[in-house]
């Protein structure tokens, strides 16, 4: 069932001043894994993503990608090795169109961005692939719209499309459905379903509906610590999780 280890995180820790936002987190994702990371607001989920992807340096711990230690590598280098994330808050180029975003992502992935005299419109195979990506996310109608004037829900879909376009080995989605109208969130699941089965996906999500539909395993993070992990059924039944996670969610609302 489970393949080779793609992402191995060991003893990852980080503090902001006095605040311990990640303490001794260890986690392994194998080829084919569909794992959900859940936890109350402020648990340190996004921080964990930032640590793993190299946006902020950890104070302790190691990160291995397909067996290779990437702890000291810059973010862009990890991306080139196939570790891709989406942002919790859509982070896009406001004046560029939807199509241009996907073109840039695909060109960047294939390292064809240093072509100075080729026209983007004529790069072999690009238009077709971009059209497929647009279709998959239902963004075809707004392909030529500048992202700055796009409804937020569609910006979120583009954010996911960008991550998918990168053909990741390990894909980390930080609350992909946040801000997406409920009817559209199925598109995101569909897109994930269409991904090659041999890559590993870690999804951070608050919407438990989505979590249970997506995940084969669930990891619970609270106050920067791994609380427990298990199959969806185990987690759903775990009284400790209900207590900590659902309890504090109820407070937050």
Ligand X SMILES: Nc1ncnc2c1ncn2[C@@H]1O[C@H](COP(=O)(O)OP(=O)(O)OP(=O)(O)O)[C@@H](O)[C@H]1O
Binding mask 152-191 for another protein (x = CB under 8 A): xx--------x---x------------x------------
Is 17 an interacting residue with respect to another protein (CB under 8 A)?
no
Is 46 an interacting residue with respect to Mg ion (CB under 5 A)?
yes
Q: Could you tell me if 8 and 69 are in contact, meaning their C-beta atoms sit under 8 angstroms apart?
A: no
Residue 78 C-beta: closest distance to ligand X, Å: 18
Given 5, 73, 123, 228, the residue binding another protein (CB under 8 A): 123
Given 32, 42, 138, 230, the residue binding ligand X (CB under 6 A): 42
Site for another protein in 193-252 (CB under 8 A): none
Given CA atoms 154, 139, 92, 166 in this order, what sign does their dihedral have? Answer: positive
Given 6, 7, 43, 172, the residue binding ligand X (CB under 6 A): 43
The DSSP-derived string for 15-63 is EETTEEEEEEEEEEEETT-EEEEE--TTSSHHHHHHHHHTSS--SEEEE
Is 16 an interacting residue with respect to ligand X (CB under 6 A)?
yes
Q: Could you tell me if 166 and 136 are in contact, meaning their C-beta atoms sit under 8 angstroms apart?
A: no
- Edge to edge, what strands does the sheet with 34-38 contain? 83-86, 170-174, 200-204, 34-38, 217-222, 225-231
Residue ranges that bind another protein, judged by CB under 8 A: 53, 55, 74-76, 79-80, 85, 87, 91-97, 99-100, 103-105, 107-109, 112-121, 123, 142, 144-146, 149-153, 162, 166, 179
């Amino acid at each position: 069932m489970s393949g080779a280890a793609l992402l191995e995180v060991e003893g990852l820790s980080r503090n902001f001043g006095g605040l311990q936002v990640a303490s001794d987190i260890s986690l392994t994702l194998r080829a084919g894994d569909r794992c959900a990371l859940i936890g109350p607001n402020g648990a340190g989920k996004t921080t964990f993503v930032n640590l793993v992807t190299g946006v902020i340096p950890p104070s302790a711990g190691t990160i291995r990608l397909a067996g290779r230690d990437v702890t000291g590598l810059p973010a862009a280098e990890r991306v080139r090795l196939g570790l891709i994330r989406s942002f919790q808050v859509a982070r896009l180029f406001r004046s560029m169109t939807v199509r241009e975003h996907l073109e840039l992502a695909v060109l960047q992935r294939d390292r064809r961005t240093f072509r100075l005299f080729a026209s983007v419109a004529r790069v072999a195979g690009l238009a077709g692939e971009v059209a497929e990506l647009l279709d998959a996310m239902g963004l075809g109608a707004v392909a030529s719209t500048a992202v700055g004037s796009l409804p937020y829900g569609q910006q979120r879909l583009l954010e996911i499309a960008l991550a998918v376009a990168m053909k990741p080995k390990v894909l980390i989605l930080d609350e992909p459905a946040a801000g997406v109208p409920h009817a559209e969130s199925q598109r995101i699941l569909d897109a994930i379903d269409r991904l090659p089965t041999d890559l590993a996906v870690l999804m951070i999500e608050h919407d438990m509906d989505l979590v249970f539909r997506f995940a084969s395993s669930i990891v619970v993070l609270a106050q920067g610590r791994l609380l427990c992990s298990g199959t969806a059924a185990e987690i759903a039944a775990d009284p400790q999780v209900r207590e900590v996670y659902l309890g504090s969610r109820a407070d937050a609302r």
